[in-house]
Amino acid sequence: MIEAQHFSKAYGRNIYALRDLSLVIGKGEFVFLTGASGAGKLTLLRLLLCQERPSDGRLIVDGEDLALMGASETQAYRRHVGFIFQDLKLIGRMTVLENTTFVARVMGVAPTVQRRKAEQVLKWVGLEH
């Protein structure tokens, strides 16, 4: 599902956030990203969201090399990935369920489908109550 092949992210000459990273995360695996401050965790997430591009190597998600995606492909890709951020990027006036269904609602997904999928995701992460 996610494969990194010797990829790096540099922000200047010999200033690397990530260097020569290789990893494989299989379909259905549940992964926690931990490490010291400055270890490159946020950089990896930004790369996976296509907010940044790798300097070297390949970052492949579901068979697609993220560095080769154009703008429309990137937007389509972002509709199929989800992240739960540590700093809770939630809309304060909305409930957890409303926050969880927000993107689907904007995209015109039927309310019954929105609710069913949101409840399933919330159950996966132990927030169904």
pLDDT on residue 86:
64
What pLDDT, in 10s, does the model give residues 53-112?
899 999 999 988 998 998 899 988 887 887 766 666 778 898 888 988 888 888 888 999
pLDDT on residue 35:
85
pLDDT on residue 85:
65
Cα atoms in the 13 Å half-sphere on the side-chain side of 8 = 11
Q: How far apart are CA 47 and CA 54, in angstroms?
A: 7
Residue 28 DSSP class: T
Please report which helix (H) or strand (E) contains residue 76, including its range.
helix 71-78
Question: Residue 127: pLDDT above 90?
Answer: no
Q: The whole model's pTM is what?
A: 0.66
Q: Which residues pair with 24 in a beta bridge?
A: 3
For 2-78, CATH gives 3.40.50.300
What pLDDT, in 10s, does the model give residues 39-58?
888 899 889 989 888 999 99
**How many C-beta atoms surround the C-beta of residue 21 within 10 A?**
21
Residues of the chain with CATH 3.40.50.300: 2-78
